[in-house]
Amino acid sequence: MITISMLRPPRPLLFIANHRSGVPCSSANIGPGFDVIGLALSVYLELQVTFASTSPRLPLNCTITYEGQGAGEVDLVADRNLITRTALYVLRCHGQHAFPCGTHVHIINPIPLGRGLGSSGAAVVAGVMLGSEIGKLGLAKPRILDFCLMIERHPDNVAAALYGGFVGTYLNELDPEDMARKEIPLSEVLPAPAGGEDTGLSPPEPPLGIGHYIKFQWAPEIKAVAIIPDFEVSTAKARKVLPESYSRKDVTFNMQRLALLTTALGQSPPDPNLIYQAMQDKVHQPYRKRLIPGLTEILQSVTPSSHRGLLGICLSGAGPTILALATENFEKIATSIVKRFGQEGITCEWKLLEPAEDGATVAKT
């Protein structure tokens, strides 16, 4: 949830604000669903937004404070921080060239950065919702998705974070003019970083209906064990190692599994043999193994027969986090993966997570 309030210090006013609300993290791909499926999970980015009645004039009228993952490394300048930069993009598309006077955004981020748990997707969703709220734009979720997709261009994380639950997504075939607008370089979409003067011109607005999503069922007994290594793999780097084209055999392999997986994860009781096989992938994981020591061995050695309760295992998003879906025996499953990473000299933490059904929420106080 995002909480907003009018005076500082009293209470945060806009956005997001208890342990079960905010913008959830997400695990994309779930094996074969590269750039297609995503699962929102129960770790939430929060923003607390306040407006001071009097404050010194700042270039963009916005100050930022930050706690949690990435504190000390995340930029706290309004036109460089991903969340506020995104909010500025939304505001500028609507003729507002700065934040309202005295805006203060406090970011509470428990989502680890660059680990494949959708921290950037959550930040972009939070930024678009922030822009919509403080600009009093009243954007509905489908339009919020359009704005998100101008910035994070694969739809799986942002749709999961925005709508919650287990989602499938696609990008629409737009007419050539809209397609060109959607593909405008990011540097022209987001406002110029500090030093760059605001030209007063509006940035490119997103075309209508860039992406589409649908929510699938999720069997209530299935939990997600996230094993999070202590190193980052940026999504951009993990996309660069992928090939430009694939063989028909590999594409068919993934499509066959993906079609079954989306139904299999909604069935109670879940069928471990079906899910384990349906979570195999030939499109991204084999290429990403060179960025993640031990990945192949972990994916091959943790199975429903070796680990009671396990349903399936995959790379979470672009990695390096491993996502194990299971119905029981969570600690044993997690510790054996932590141990295997340990053999590569990599330490990890692990978390037992649940689907975040509600997606992104805003609260006004």
Ligand X SMILES: N[C@@H](CCOP(=O)(O)O)C(=O)O
CA dihedral (149, 151, 152, 158) in degrees, to 10, reads: -50
Token duo for residue 228: 């999070």
**How many residues touch ligand ADP (CB under 6 A)?**
21
CA separation (Å) from 86 to 74, 193, 249?
15, 12, 40
Decide whether 223 or 284 has the Cβ nearer to ligand X.
Answer: 284
Q: Is residue 343 close enough to count as binding ligand ADP by CB under 6 A?
A: no
Decide whether 27 or 327 has the Cβ nearer to ligand ADP.
Answer: 27
Q: Is residue 84 close enough to count as binding ligand X by CB under 6 A?
A: no
Determine which residue in the list 16, 39, 40, 82 makes contact with ligand ADP, applying CB under 6 A: 82
Residues 137-176 that bind ligand X (CB under 6 A): 154, 156-157
Determine which residue in the list 16, 45, 91, 258 makes contact with ligand ADP, applying CB under 6 A: 45
Token duo for residue 50: 């306040």
**What is the spatial distance between Cα 16 and Cα 61, in angstroms, rounded to a whole number?**
21
Token duo for residue 264: 């299999």
**What is the spatial distance between Cα 281 and Cα 284, in angstroms, rounded to a whole number?**
7
CA separation (Å) from 266 to 39, 254, 260?
12, 19, 10
Q: Is residue 123 close enough to count as binding ligand ADP by CB under 6 A?
A: yes
Identify the three-state secondary structure at position 315. Answer: strand
* Part of the chain binding ligand X (CB under 6 A), chosen from 110-118, 178-186, 223-231, 325-333: 110-118
Determine which residue in the list 239, 289, 332, 364 makes contact with ligand X, applying CB under 6 A: 239
Of ligand X, ligand ADP, none, which one does residue 74 interact with (CB within 5 to 8 Å by kind)?
ligand ADP
Of ligand X, ligand ADP, none, which one does residue 131 interact with (CB within 5 to 8 Å by kind)?
none
CA separation (Å) from 182 to 5, 27, 174, 207?
34, 24, 9, 7
Residues that bind ligand X (CB under 6 A): 28-29, 34-35, 116-118, 120, 154, 156-157, 235, 238-239, 284, 317-318
Give me the residues that bind ligand ADP (CB under 6 A), please.
Answer: 45, 74, 81-83, 107, 109, 113-121, 123, 234-235, 317-318
